[in-house]
Amino acid sequence: MSTRWQQRGRDMLYPLAAAGLAFLMAAGVLAALGASPLQAYAALVKGAFGSRNALAETLVKATPLLLVGLGICIAFRGQVINIGGEGQMIVGALLATALGLAFPHWPGWVMIPLAMLVAMMGGAVWGGIPGVLKAYYNVNEILSTIMMNAIAVQLMNYLLRGPMIDPVQAQRASQIPQTAALAAAYRLPRWVPTRLHLGALLAVVLAVVVYFLLWRTGWGYRIRAVGHNPHAARYAGIPVKRYTVLALVLSGAFAGLAGMVQVYGVNYRMITDGSATGFTGGAGFNGIVAALLGQLHPLGTIPAAVLFGALLVGANAMQRAVQVPSALVTALNGLVVVFVVSSEYFRRRARKRRLLQQTAASAATAVAPSSPED
Amino acid sequence: MGDWGHILLGVLASGIRLATPYLYAGIGETLGQRSGVLNLGVEGQMLLGAFAAFYVTYRTGNVLGGLLAAALVGLLMGLAMAFVSVNLQAEQGISGIGFYLFGLGLSDLLFQKLLGTVDSVRGVPDAVIPGLSDLPVLGELLFRHNWMVYGAYALVPLAWFVLNKTPWGLMIKAAGENPHAADSLGVSVARVRYATVTLGGVLSAIGGASLSVGLLKIFQQNMTSGLGFIAVALVYFGGWRPVGVLLGALLFSLVNALQLWVQVLGLPIPADFAVMAPYVLTIVVLVIVVQRARPPAALARPFERE
Amino acid sequence: MRRALLFFLAVLLVAGLVACGGTQQAETQAPEEARPFRIAVVMPSAINDMAFSQSMYEALVKLQQEMGGPDKLEFVYSENMYVVDDAAAAIRDYASQGYDLIIAHGSQYGSSLQEIAPDFPNTSFAWGTTVDTFAEQGIDNVFAYEARSEQGGYVNGVMAAMLSQSGVIGVVGPIETGDAKLYIDGFKAGVMATNPNAQVNVNYIGSFSDVALAAEAAKTHIEAGADVLTGTAQMVVGAVGVAKDHGVLWFGTQADQSSLAPDIVVANQVYDWTVALKPMVENIQNGVRGGEAYSLTLANGGLTIQYNPQFDLPAEVKDAAEATIQGIVNGDIQIPVGGE
């Protein structure tokens, strides 16, 4: 057991070293811009972990990444690529917000779970449409999810400046495209004075749920079977098409929930700046990165989401501290993603070598070690 | 009637122009995907290409130099993507998102530090073809675009020819469909993928340049605003065939041009729904015209010799 | 070997971080006297967007000069904060660092400000564009500012109507809200007041960043017969380029866009936020932390119409524009905007 954890620890070194390399490269740029790289990176670490509030902000950022990432774990295990998280978040949030605003006087313990359910349904529909199109009309999900993202943004813009606009704003000349605020009773409980809300805990719990769903239930088994080898799955009598749809429906549901959590836990209303990222913070895309860095394992996605959240939060803090253009932060994030995902190769190679050594060592007893993965 | 004819002409001409960047990027992506590499970082390559072309043109006044710079930047980005996906066998979905963010950030950073402000260049001139450009209807429709528009359309038959009529095409398709068989026949899968992904990078960057020095003659941060992702989607629309990508790019662009007219004519449709139209129709058309194409069998799968 | 190298790099990184954590602490606070006034601003787009964010950045630079340089006024900024909750984190962080005034330069940040301001009662905040200082919610440390961009829109509209030969005028906008809507509503009103038979075609392209679509929208307007164009937000630079190519006139807003196309830009409505910032700073220095709303108007010089010196504007058009400005300033001209 302890060797396994040692090995896990050693495995973590690869992405960390890769991130370090990316930071080293960006350090050159920082220096060229006249900022001290050391001071900058100190601010980054401090901004992500340096105080109770920093840590809370990191977790707040990680929450939608984890929720979207959980959906991605399901989808990718079913061999469907869901890059529609942005749209699914938006639609989930729109429905949950509409519900909360339509019935402002219910008790919180009734509304919050209901809003979650509605958001998951909204996301499920937005993910399910590409699912159905893929399964029954051979429309590739990469295409349809990209298109569905754009459609969701325009839907949001329409609703937030039309039917769902804050009545106060409707009367003002400027008409800020935002909804009214949700009733105070509907806000997810927070760890005052930070913004860390119950949604973070919920996401962790759901990670465990998804783990059980994928590896301990028939549904999960069949989703994975379809993803692993659709022909064999069909031969085994699994309705492949239905499970393809299911994978995207579940994936969308988690993204929808992420959208709801952003409204009920962070902003308490929906606001649009005209783009998807303005609302989602890019979590629909970044959640994919988190899930893949977490080896598409729901539990592995937890630390991956936290680290990625820390990078995003810390990099913004760095921008504020040393006043470099925010564009550098974006480029740095991209560099880290590329380097970390590339480091996987070295990790795999090291693991393979280790397994070979072990196999050679234990050849006498003829017991092959089982792969720790899956 | 004359009015409607005029509008139709306008929509067609707009659509033909708007399709340009999608074609460059989409054809490049098609070649990459046919050989088995999914590049989601097209948008980042386009932005860097757009900036490089604009900057060099702005400083030197030489558009050809600008295009060359874009090609060079695309080459480097393509090589990087190829290295990461071929040698390091990285998950292509993520590395692409990483390259996208890198290109988005770096192009903006360079823009701020090297230029500082939005400015304009003369850019690629419009075609003036004696005789043809002055034709009554066809002249406006076909023969008065800037030269980069024609380059984009010329790519389609060229890519078709390479894919279907040359040994290179065979090698590309073999690398994407059955890399092990290709390898056993002596085709270097790695080299083929390097070639297509790098060429894809060059074409995406030129596609970006077709905006900054071709259609718009300005540079603004994040000026592609999602166009690179649409280009990737259009590869799927086109069923991995250059002609299919052309049809997809034209459909998307024509509907986009049409929705602009819907607003100009003051039809009682909220602007947001008009803007949605090209995205919705792209999906709807695919549902109606049932697709038979399937992705290359080894798409997004790194190749490892056994 | 390679593993050792990677491990070495990781150690190097950690060591570096620890080391600079130390230097960070070693920094000392500046002495209390001679402390400059400190402003932090959070902006939705880039400081060189030729539009909304640039106008604020330029105002801060100007204010700094007027107040006597960085020794008197120090300012920091976070640009491209289009993610609303990232902006909220930035605002809170700046507040906890003890800035005297924190400006949330985007109406989408209001909701966050309403939540953060009460936690920092000794810090002043400002946001725009709006008139809402949250005084009704019992918050007393928030200023509000807005640009009455419909005023300059109206003046631009008057000139556009006079200069248009075809009577068709095209407008390119992002989404139909906020400052863009105000400007466009004012512009339409100005055109109609001058030439009731004119036709104003408005195209909202659904994005603040899609430069290519903005350009194509401009082309569509030209195809539809427009010979004068205007537009607002940072993606319109694409439309300016098209106007230039086709020799069609352009009216700008938010920042001076003349440099982009000196031959065809007629005039720009330029925002000077110092008109709002100066009284804000004075108020704060006198102990008033919030509660007031400032408007940029033609009357108070916050809005100016800057004619492009390289464009040969007919005298009667310029006279009409000046008369319109006078009319708006003295209240003779009322511009209907707002509501649905």
A133 and A210 share one domain:
yes
pLDDT of residue B139: 78
Tell me the C-alpha distance between A100 and A102, whole Å: 6
C119 and C252 share one domain:
no
Q: Which residues of B touch A143 (CB under 8 A)?
A: 233-234, 236-237, 282-283, 286
Q: pLDDT under 50 in chain A at which residues?
A: 1, 367-374
Residue A111 lies in a domain: yes
What tokens were used for A300? 């592995």
Question: In this complex, do C181 and A174 lie within 8 Å of one another by their Cβ atoms?
Answer: yes
Residue A374 lies in a domain: no
Question: In this complex, do C178 and A346 lie within 8 Å of one another by their Cβ atoms?
Answer: no
Amino acid at C236: V
Q: Number of C-alpha atoms within 13 angstroms, CB side, residue B266? A: 7
C186 and C76 share one domain:
no
Question: In this complex, do C206 and B272 lie within 8 Å of one another by their Cβ atoms?
Answer: yes
Q: What is the pLDDT of residues B255-282, one digit of tens each?
A: 999 999 998 888 888 889 999 999 999 9
A233 and A337 share one domain:
no
Q: Which residues of C touch A39 (CB under 8 A)?
A: 20, 23-24
A31 and A119 share one domain:
no
Q: Which of C48, C205, C212 sits opposite B227 (nearest CB)?
A: C212
C187 and C284 share one domain:
no
A289 and A333 share one domain:
no
Question: In this complex, do B223 and C219 lie within 8 Å of one another by their Cβ atoms?
Answer: no
As a whole number, the mean pLDDT across chain B is: 92
Contact C267, C190 (CB under 8 A): no
Tell which of B118, B212, B262, B276 to mutate to test the C interface (max C CBs under 10 Å): B118
C66 and C107 share one domain:
yes
pLDDT of residue A335: 94
Residue C128 β-bridge partners: C105, C145
Structural domain span for residue C194? 149-269+310-329
Q: Which of B87, B270, B290 sits opposite A162 (nearest CB)?
A: B270
Please, what is the Cα angle at C53 between C50 and C55, to 5 degrees?
70
- B–C CB contacts, 8 A cutoff, strictly below: 121
DSSP B68-89: HHHHHHHHHHHHHHHIIIIIS-
Q: Which of A151, A293, A338 sits opposite B102 (nearest CB)?
A: A338
Query: What is the number of domains present in chain C?
Result: 2
Q: What is the pLDDT of residues A123-168, one digit of tens each?
A: 999 999 999 999 999 898 999 999 999 999 999 999 998 899 999 8
Instruction: Search chain A and give the residue with CA nearest C182.
Output: A174
Q: pLDDT under 70 in chain B at which residues?
A: 1-2, 290-291, 306
pLDDT of residue C9: 46
Residue C252 lies in a domain: yes
- ipTM for the predicted complex comes to 0.92
pLDDT of residue A364: 57
Residue C23 lies in a domain: no
Backbone Cα Rg of chain C:
23
Domain of C55: which CATH number?
Answer: 3.40.50.2300
Q: Is the predicted pLDDT of residue C102 greater than 90, yes or no?
A: yes
Residue C296 β-bridge partners: C147
CB contact set of C315 (below 8 Å; sequence gap of 6+): none
Q: What is the pLDDT of residues C178-237, one digit of tens each?
A: 889 999 999 999 999 999 999 999 999 988 889 999 999 999 999 999 999 999 998 999
| Final residue of a structural domain among A322, A348, A365 | A322
How many angstroms away from the CA of B21 is the closest CA of chain C? Answer: 10
Tell me the C-alpha distance between A62 and C329, whole Å: 51
C323 and C235 share one domain:
yes
Total residues found in chain C within this entry: 340
Residue A53 lies in a domain: no
Q: Which residues of C touch B127 (CB under 8 A)?
A: none
Residue C129 lies in a domain: yes
Confidence of residue C340 (pLDDT cuts 50, 70, 90): very low
Domains of chain B as residue ranges with CATH: 2-288 (1.10.3470)
The SS3 of residue A191 is coil
Please give the backbone phi and psi of residue C87, each rounded to the nearest 5 degrees, phi first: -60, -40
What tokens were used for A77? 């295990």
pLDDT of residue B239: 92
C132 and C189 share one domain:
no
A143 and A180 share one domain:
yes
The SS3 of residue C232 is coil
Structural domain span for residue A207? 62-322
pLDDT of residue A365: 62
Q: What is the pLDDT of residues C266-291, one digit of tens each?
A: 999 999 999 999 999 999 999 999 99
Provide the terminal-to-terminal Cα distance of chain C, rounded to the nearest Å. Answer: 69
Q: Which chains touch C (3 or more CB pairs under 8 A)?
A: A, B
pLDDT of residue B91: 86
Q: Is the predicted pLDDT of residue C26 greater than 70, yes or no?
A: no
A249 and A121 share one domain:
yes
Q: Number of C-alpha atoms within 13 angstroms, CB side, residue C21? A: 12
C196 and C322 share one domain:
yes
Residue C21 lies in a domain: no
Residue C278 lies in a domain: yes
Residue A365 lies in a domain: no
Residue A174 lies in a domain: yes
Whether residue C50 lies within 8 A of chain B, CB to CB, comes out as yes
Q: What is the pLDDT of residues C6-18, one digit of tens each?
A: 444 444 444 444 4
Residue A165 lies in a domain: yes
C44 and C103 share one domain:
yes
pLDDT of residue A14: 87
Residue A43 lies in a domain: no
C156 and C82 share one domain:
no
Query: Which residues 36-75 on chain A approach chain C with CB closer than 8 angstroms?
Result: 36, 38-39, 41-43, 45-47, 53, 57, 60
Residue C280 lies in a domain: yes
A11 and A102 share one domain:
no
C111 and C220 share one domain:
no
Instruction: Provide, rounded to the nearest whole percent, the portion of chain C with pLDDT above 90.
Output: 75
Query: What is the number of domains present in chain A?
Result: 2
pLDDT of residue C7: 47
Residue C19 lies in a domain: no
A23 and A142 share one domain:
no
